[in-house]
Amino acid sequence: GRLEAVTQQMGYHPQYLDSFLKTQHYLMHMDGPLPFDCRHYIAIMAAARHQCRYLVNLHVLQFLRAGGDPQWLRGLEFIPPKLRNLNEINKILAHRPWLITKEHIEKLLKISEWSWSLAELVHAVVLLAHCHALASFVFGCGCEQDEGLGGRGSLKPLSLGNQCFCEATAGNSYGQELLRINRKRSLDSCMELDSLRERMQRIHVETEGRDEMRLLQQDREEGEGQGAGWHISDPAVGLSPLADTDGEVTGATNLACYMQDPDFGYQDFARRDEDQTQVFRVQDYSWEDHGFSLVNRLYSDIGHLLDEKFRMVDGLQSSAMAKRQGCEPSVFKRGIWNYIHCMFGIRYDDYDYAEVNQLLERMLKVYIKTVTCYPEKTNSEMFDRFWKQFKHSEKVHVNLLILEARMQAELLYALQAITQYMI
């Protein structure tokens, strides 16, 4: 039940939580183009781009529960080439989605032993966008603070007062059931962790001899001091990626093994020359008119779930939050949404962007940009100092807007590239 911190924060808005849990459950656990273990590994790759240990550790455990190969947890070098080929689009979507082109799509879909199908790729793209955006929420709401998960231990989410979380989601039948299941899983987790420890130790013992023989053979063939590769005595390899020196299951300690080109990050989007990247204009390609139908056709029903989630966050009540800013709720929410999309180069021709500076004070804009573009840099000072006039539930609401606006932005670029490939 390690997702509990996220569900507690989203529990301030139970209707949204219900929609979120339905979507996540469908992505991870229901019928779909991708095998279950691959889904969780893709989530690990996505979360690692933002150094989100909370999500990485969660999906490492889920990956093993789904029967995933523990060797994959040693890093990208140990996974099938087909899955490793997803790394480039993961990197670009996480940081500069406007760079996605139909050539990236074509490279993954080309006929070869390791090619993706369109349905598989759409499933993978939705997973990547979901986990990138969820990492923003995790950092923005302080869910990464759990020291047991390697968090910074500084952001302290407020409690729900005298109201139990299960009561806070009253009337939320799907969320209630998921929370009941999660609580049951948490009771079983001690036994599961013991089982995982035994499994990892057994695999380590079984592979240690093979690795040593293989490396000794390499030494003989390539000469002393050359080509030894990973040596089993290296503590980064000799220990299971799920075990620390005390034998405790803690999750991967080095997230770098799950990504390539770690220095690749967000850069401010700027209007380009005509022969370079152009502004993405929503009237030319929108979620409602284009993205929804494409994703729903290639990955049945996910379009409806995503659309419900986008509409749900737009419909959340925010009268008090907007009143503090001196405007109507819909105006305030649209200002935040369009500001986030603007940072990714997405523009609405019917919107006056001068409103953004009028509606959002500078400190709030800095916070939104940090959580959206480089969430791993979010810190407690930003959370406390820049949000003094907001209630905690209002802070969560804004972070939900960030989550959904960012996810939709990534999906728009990826789905547009897929559409261009199909044409």
- Active-site position among 38, 52, 141, 373: 52
Q: Is 52 a catalytic residue?
A: yes
Neighbours of 297 (CB within 10 A): 12
User: Could you list the active site residues?
Assistant: 52
